[in-house]
Chains A and B, each alone.
Chain A
Amino acid sequence: MLAREDVLHVARLARLGLDEDELERMGSELSAVLDHVERIRELDLDDVEPTSHAVDVAGVMRPDEPAPCLERDVILAAAPEPVDGGFGVPSPGSGGE
């Protein structure tokens, strides 16, 4: 069973706000899933190469040709808070880690 501190630690890594109720449920739900998936740890796969991509398309190259991109105002139209032609964000403050 994942301890409350573990859940809080992972939520912090993911920058994910969880309320009390969610914290509680997350611990037991993740534990149930981890208990299931953990079985693959018993397989002896020491000599097996990992696969991160199933279809072999290594070494894809293309000519490096400049092409137009979207206009600044088109991109900023979707932003919650455009400021002076850029993305507005709150102060980094001291809340970061």
Chain B
Amino acid sequence: MSSNITPITMPKFGLAMTEGKLASWSLPVGTEVSAGDELADIETSKITNGYESPAAGILRRQVIPEGETIPVGTLIGILADADVSDVEIDSFIKNFNDNFSSGETKDKASEETPRRIVEVDDLRISIQESGNGNEGTAVLLIHGFGGDVSNWMLTQSALSSSHHVIAFDLPGHGESTKQVGDGSPEGFAKTVESLIKILDLPNVHVIGHSLGGAIALELAKSSPELVKTLTLIAPAGLGQDINMNFINGFIEADRRKTLEPVLQYLVHDKNLISRQMVEGIIRYKRLDGVINGLKTIASASFPEGKQAVSLRSTLEKFDKPSQILWGEQDEILSAKDADGLPSTIAVTRYPDAGHMPQLEQAAAVNAIISSFIA
């Protein structure tokens, strides 16, 4: 009976998400949907994102109306075939909700974000671990300029089902120490190398985004034995140009009104930049030492408005599996920077994504990474 009923629940975008707002339903009741069709827009404290249907069926019920904020896991809608009766659906909803409310308090404790501080070469590095620590090679996620672990909110949980995944805040970012050393990708790579050793990992699948891509390449150059595979998402280090309106604007803008247009360079779908995301970055930038750190990084990595270091030859010479993922609408680093590389390096481009395909095309990016590191 109920095997033909699929519950649609409030998704969990990232480890820190505990509740979400059902901003809008994308389809009316009665629509036949396929897996992957966008069902609703979900707004969280970090991001607004489309929620794709996990299965096929007819959208029979919208249990939660638009505008309500509810805990992760709450039943929001029902997919079912046409032959399932309304009575069956009603009893399914009742059963689900009876069981859900009883389990709610238990879930809360187990969903605490697993953050901890690791002392690395006199720096305090905040890491966020997930997944099974005993299974295969771990995955290390390196964010870019001005980012933090939340850049991986749609990546980390997806990869955790099969791997031990470690995201961390670079020095000068998030909850890590705000000293950035010389601010160069090479300097950061040394910190990453120490982190990998302190965590006692023989080697890792490295995934680097933007400036984190350049850091991943520096790591591959200095300690190739630590890198099992290399996934570079819109990486720095392969070309010369960079959108300095983003870099300088990110450093200088100190109000929501001026920062929001700067952050919009990051994505193709400008609606992804939520009010809360802008507020979170303003709060980060107010922490002691952050602005100076960002200035140091910018002048070390992008002096005179150009990328200082070319790591093209490093990538060309690197003999482990390497791939590049890039949004064609990237407004910060051009996807053309991946042109002309040896054919051993797979390049995947996403027509409707900007600088952060791991957010804008999360499902596709997660799938390609999963099979690459399998």
A and B pair up: no
Interface residues in chain A, defined as those with a beta carbon under 8 Å from any beta carbon in chain B: none
What is the interface of chain B, defined by CB distance below 8 A to chain A? none
